[in-house]
Amino acid sequence: MQERKKVGILIFDDVEVLDFCGPYEVFCSVRLNEERRREEPSPFQALLVAENAGAIGAGGGMRVLPDVTTAECPPLDILLVPGGWGTRREIANERLLAWIAERAGEVGTLTSVCTGSMLLGKAGLLAGRHATTHWMSLGWMRESFPDVTVEERLHVVRDGNIFTSAGISAGIDLALLVTAEYFGGEIARATARYMEYPYPEGLERRI
C-alpha cells in the first residue's frame, strides 16, 4: 500500500465537536478498495493536534485527548483548522497562529471549517483569496479581513490549495472534496455512500 497521507486536525478548548469529528470520520472511512474495508486502513492517517498534551474541553463538554502536540507533530500533507467558540480566544494566540502559518507553507492542502478560517486569516494566509465561514460570522470575516473576498452562499470554497467551508456539518463536505482531490471522485463518493451521507455535488467553488 502507498504511504498514507497525514492529516493534522487542530483541536483547542471550546472547539466545535462536529467541525473536527466530521472530517475525522471522513478521512478514517476512506478505502481504496471497498471490498477490503475491514482488512485495509484508510489511505489517510488522521492525527489530532493540540498545543499541549492534556485533555481538550470541546464544545458541549466533550473531553478529547490529542495524538500529538504542535511541538511533536510530524510532517503533514493536509492541515485542517476547525472552528467553534474557542476561535475567539485562539485568534489572539500568537504562538498557535505562527505554528499554523509555518505548517501552511509545508502542507499540500490547507483547510478550515467554520470559524477556523478566522485563524487562517489572522495568520495571514487568506490575503487576496476567496474564502467562507459560518453564516453567523461572515460579517466578522468581512470586517476583519477586507482583503479577502468573502463568499456568502457557498458551502466549500477552494482557492488554490486552500479549502474553506461554512459551518459545522460543512466540514464533512469539505473532507469529501479533499478526498476526491487526492484519490478521485469515485473513492470520495464510495466514502459518502458508506457514511450514508449525500455527496456534495455542486457545493464547491474553485477559484
Task: Retrieve residue 54's grid coordinates.
Answer: 492534556
Q: How many CA atoms lie within 13 A of 107 on its CB side?
A: 27
Question: Which sequence positions are flagged as catalytic?
Answer: 114
Q: Order the strands of the 204-206 sheet from edge to edge.
A: 68-69, 44-50, 5-10, 78-81, 109-113, 162-165, 156-159, 204-206
* Residue that has been written with the C-alpha cell 466514502 in this structure: 191
Residue type, 61: G
Element (H, E) at 21: helix 17-29
Tell me which DSSP letter residue 12 carries: -
Q: What is the dihedral of CA 122, 151, 107, 90, to 10 degrees?
A: 30
